[in-house]
Amino acid sequence: MIFDILTIFPDFFDSPLREGIVRRALIAGKISVDVHDIRDYALDRHRMTDDRPFGGGEGMVMKPEPLVRCLQAIDGDQDQSLIILLSPRGRRLNQETVHRLSESSRLILVCGRYEGVDERFRDRYVDEELSIGDYVLTGGELAALVVIDAVTRLLPGVLGCPGSATNDSFSRGLLKYGQFTRPRIFENMPVPDVLLSGDHQAIVRYRLIESVRITMDRRPDLLATVRFSSEERRILKKEGLLERVEAIVQQSRCEAEHSG
Catalytic residue selected from 40, 129, 149, 168: 168
Q: Give SS3 for 207.
A: helix
Residues 6+ apart with CB under 8 A from 61: 50, 51, 52, 53, 114, 115, 116, 117, 118
Question: Using the 8-state DSSP alphabet, how is residue 239 labeled?
Answer: T
Handedness of CA 165, 171, 172, 177 (dihedral sign): positive
156 is catalytic: no
115 is catalytic: yes
4 is catalytic: no
227: Cα within 13 Å, side-chain hemisphere: 0
CA proximity to 154, closest of 231, 216, 102, 227: 102
Alpha carbon distance 50, 66 (integer Å): 9
Catalytic residue selected from 88, 172, 219, 232: 88
Catalytic residue selected from 113, 153, 205, 207: 153
Catalytic residue selected from 40, 106, 115, 220: 115
65 is catalytic: no
Side chain identity at 232, as an amino acid letter? E
Is there a contact between 61 and 49 (Cβ–Cβ < 8 Å)?
A: no
Q: Could you give the residue numbers annotated as active site?
A: 88, 115, 153, 168
